[in-house]
Structure 1
């Protein structure tokens, strides 16, 4: 089990305790039951988003990823579009394992936003395969981190935007 999947499972367990009885989360879908604008809540959502991003790339299913993304988020649209384009053309992603090593809330943006840095230890390459079986490395950045801006919409977090570029190094 990857670090992302492990984190998602722990968030899922805590979230399901407060989820409504009609909710039926799947193994990869983690509900955002933590709706407070706290560093811990933002960090848990960051892990949730990364787990869902990994699921979308490995399965082609962007439904939940879209629900966790702000409609104006350009990086979210790139993630979703790349998945839809590859799977829509009969291809797939064959290696999508992001190894999240830590997540840290950095600061706030207004009343509802939090900047969160996500560190990846030994981030594995993203490898795509077209319908003929030809494989191509899409990215292979090595260890490093990204900073994201998450915003609370009512009681649910959404990714609003990536803040800055990939920073190499652990």
Structure 2
């Protein structure tokens, strides 16, 4: 996103269709007018509690934490925790990381790029250690300031987006296996 992958934290993995989300694709608009940073502060992620168990509530906390970590990574450029919380098979997670790297390599500044969670619902296990968590969210859009001072709108703001996060619990911790766009 910013779980607006920023701008919407949308993604795919295993057959999902394309949708809004942070991407390294072409910008949809370039402007020179100033854009104020998002009025909603990005929460600073906290370290996931030690001793988590494989429960519905724990899976919901893990997704909330993951989204906060991705939001923070877009804000700061620090991808280490996103990488640690993402399974190597998660294509959407890899796109978040790639997008963040590209932004900071180009010396761009994120003006807006936050996912705001409206509702989180986790399921029972779908396989041993695997849970699905559905997230209803809104995204501020991904807006960057380029080094020359111009503004680039990468992703527009959106409301009513729904993604499914497939998580795996192993060695006392959750990892995101894939992110699937539902709406």
Q: CA deviation at 1:31?
A: 2.1
Of 135, 140, 143, the residue aligned with 1:127 is 143
TM-score, with normalisation over the residues of structure 2? 0.71
What is the TM-score with the length of structure 1 in the denominator? 0.77
In structure 2, C-alpha distance between the alignment counterparts of 1:3 and 1:132, rounded to whole Å: 25
* Structure 1 stretches of 4+ moved >4 Å: 1-4
Structure 2 gaps of 5+ residues are 1-38
Question: Deviations along 1:81-125, whole A, 9 cap, x unmatched?
Answer: 0000110111122112211111110342311110001111x4211
Shift of 1:133: 2.2
Q: 2:45 aligns with which of 28, 40, 55?
A: 28
CA contact (8 A) 1:28 1:52 kept: yes
Does structure 2 conserve the Cα–Cα contact (< 8 Å) formed by 1:35 and 1:156?
yes
Distance 1:166 1:125, change over 3 A: farther
- For these two proteins, the number of residue pairs brought into alignment is 144
Q: Which residue of 2 aligns with 1:22?
A: none
Give the structure 2 partner of residue 66 of structure 1. 83
Aligned-pair RMSD on alpha carbons?
Answer: 2.0
Structure 1 unaligned regions, length at least 5: 6-26
Cα distance in 2 for residues equivalent to 1:126 and 1:112? 33
Higher relative contact order (CA 8 A, sep 6+): 2
Which residue number corresponds to residue 55 of structure 1? Answer: 72
Alignment partners' CA distance in 2, 1:48 and 1:34: 15
Q: 2:152 aligns with which of 112, 128, 136?
A: 136
SS of aligned partner of 1:47: helix
Secondary structure of 1:143's aligned partner: strand
